[in-house]
Amino acid sequence: MPQNYTPEFKKKIVRLHEEEGRTYKSITAEYGVSKASISKWCSEFNKECQTSPDIKTEYDNMKEFLRLKRENEELRKENLFLKKAAAFFAKEIG
C-alpha cells in the first residue's frame, strides 16, 4: 500500500538532496523513503522551477548554497594542508 507524505516532508527530502548534497541512499536509510520517490519528488520540484519564479529562486539559492558549502570544505582542507606545510618548514628552518 503506498504511503502518503505531506508536501512539507517531500520538500524537506528534496532540500536534503539538492541543498545539502545528500545521496538517495543516505536519505533512504534515514527516512525509509524509496529512491524512486526521492527521484520523482526532485523531478517534480525541477519542473515546478520552470513554471514558478519563486520556486526557481528557491532552487537557485539551494544550488548556490551547496556550491558554497563544497567550496568552503575544499578551502578548509587546503588551509589545513598549508598550516601543516608551514609547521613542517618552520621545524626544518628553525
DSSP states along the chain = -PPP--HHHHHHHHHHHHTT---HHHHHHHH---HHHHHHHHHHHHHHHHH-HHHHHHHHHHHHHHHHHHHHHHHHHHHHHHHHHHHHHHHHH-
* % of the chain at pLDDT higher than 70: 98
Q: What is the pTM of this model?
A: 0.63
pLDDT over 70 at 17, yes or no: yes
Residue 1 binned pLDDT confidence (cut-offs 50, 70, 90): low
Q: Write down the pLDDT at residue 34.
A: 93
